Chain A
Amino acid sequence: MSTNSILEIDKLSYAYEDKQVLEDIDFSIQSGSFVGLVGPNGSGKTTLIKLILGLLPHKRGTIRLFDTPIEKFKDWNRIGFVSQKANSFNTGFPATVYEVVSMGLTAKVGYFRFFTKQHMQKIKHAVDIVGMTEYLHKNVGDLSGGQQQRVFIARALVSEPDFLILDEPTVGVDAENVQRFYEMLADLNKNKGITLLLVTHDTGTMTSYATNIACLNKRIHFHGDPHSFEHMSDQDLSEMYGHNVHLVKHEH
Chain B
Amino acid sequence: MISSFLQYEFLQNAFFTALLIGFIAPLLGTFVVVRRLSLIADALSHVTLSGIAFGLMLDKKLGGFALTPFYTGMGFSVLGSIFIEQLRRVYKAYQELAIPIILSGGVGLSVIFISLADGFNTDLFNYLFGSVTAVSRQDLWTILVVALVVTSLVFLFYKELFMLSFDEEHAVVSGIHAKRIHFLFIILTALVIAASIRIVGVLLVSALMTLPVAASIRLARGFKQTIAFSILFGEASVLIGLVAGYFFEIPPGGTIVVTAILILIITLGFKKLQQRSHFKKVMS
Is B one of A's binding partners?
yes
Tell me the count of chain B residues lying within 8 A, CB to CB, of chain A. 27
Cβ contact within 8 Å between A95 and B222: yes
Residue of B nearest to A81 (CB): B173
Cβ contact within 8 Å between B217 and A92: yes
Cβ contact within 8 Å between B223 and A76: no
Specify which of A89, A99, A106, A111 is in contact with B174 (CB 8 Å cutoff): A106
Q: How far is the CA of A104 from the CA of B176 in the complex (A)?
A: 11
* B157 cross-chain contacts in A, Cβ below 8 A: 111
* A83 cross-chain contacts in B, Cβ below 8 A: 169-170, 173
Interface check A98, CB cutoff 8 A: yes
Interface residues of B: mostly helix, strand, loop or mixed?
helix
Interface check B172, CB cutoff 8 A: yes
Q: A-facing mask of B150-191, CB < 8 A → 1, else 0? A: 000000110110110111011111111000000000000000
* B117 cross-chain contacts in A, Cβ below 8 A: none
Interface check A55, CB cutoff 8 A: yes
Interface check B220, CB cutoff 8 A: yes
Cβ contact within 8 Å between A89 and B166: yes
* A129 cross-chain contacts in B, Cβ below 8 A: none
Cβ contact within 8 Å between B223 and A95: yes
Interface check B34, CB cutoff 8 A: yes
Q: How far is the CA of A96 from the CA of B157 in the complex (A)?
A: 19
Cβ contact within 8 Å between A99 and B223: yes
Cβ contact within 8 Å between A138 and B166: no
Cβ contact within 8 Å between B222 and A111: no
Residue of B nearest to A165 (CB): B173
Cβ contact within 8 Å between A81 and B217: no
* B92 cross-chain contacts in A, Cβ below 8 A: none
Query: In whole Å, how far is B169's beta carbon from the nearest beta carbon of chain A?
Result: 6
Interface check A112, CB cutoff 8 A: yes
> Which residues, 114 to 139 on A, are CB-close (under 8 Å) to B?
114-115, 137-139
Tell me the count of chain A residues lying within 8 A, CB to CB, of chain B. 32
Interface check B278, CB cutoff 8 A: no
Specify which of B34, B156, B162 is in contact with A103 (CB 8 Å cutoff): B162
* A111 cross-chain contacts in B, Cβ below 8 A: 157, 160
Cβ contact within 8 Å between A53 and B173: yes
Interface check A248, CB cutoff 8 A: no
Interface check A100, CB cutoff 8 A: yes
Q: How far is the CA of A135 from the CA of B176 in the complex (A)?
A: 27
Interface check A149, CB cutoff 8 A: no
Q: B-facing mask of A67-91, CB < 8 A → 1, else 0? A: 0000000001100010101100110
* A90 cross-chain contacts in B, Cβ below 8 A: 34, 36
Q: How far is the CA of A111 from the CA of B175 in the complex (A)?
A: 11
Cβ contact within 8 Å between B159 and A109: yes
Interface check B226, CB cutoff 8 A: yes
Query: In whole Å, how far is A25's beta carbon from the nearest beta carbon of chain B?
Result: 21
Cβ contact within 8 Å between B159 and A106: yes
Cβ contact within 8 Å between A76 and B167: no
* A139 cross-chain contacts in B, Cβ below 8 A: 221-222
* A93 cross-chain contacts in B, Cβ below 8 A: 34, 165-166, 223
* B162 cross-chain contacts in A, Cβ below 8 A: 95, 99, 103, 106
Q: A-facing mask of B194-229, CB < 8 A → 1, else 0? A: 000000000000000000000001001111111000
Cβ contact within 8 Å between B159 and A137: no
Residue of A nearest to B217 (CB): A94
Residue of A nearest to B165 (CB): A93
Interface check A107, CB cutoff 8 A: yes
Interface check A102, CB cutoff 8 A: yes
Spell out A's residues near B (CB within 8 Å).
53, 55, 76-77, 81, 83, 85-86, 89-90, 92-96, 98-100, 102-104, 106-107, 109, 111-112, 114-115, 137-139, 155
Cβ contacts A to B, 8 pairs, < 8 Å: A89-B167, A90-B36, A94-B220, A94-B226, A95-B166, A99-B223, A100-B166, A107-B175
Among all A-B residue pairs, the 3 with the closest Cβ atoms: A107-B174, A96-B222, A94-B226
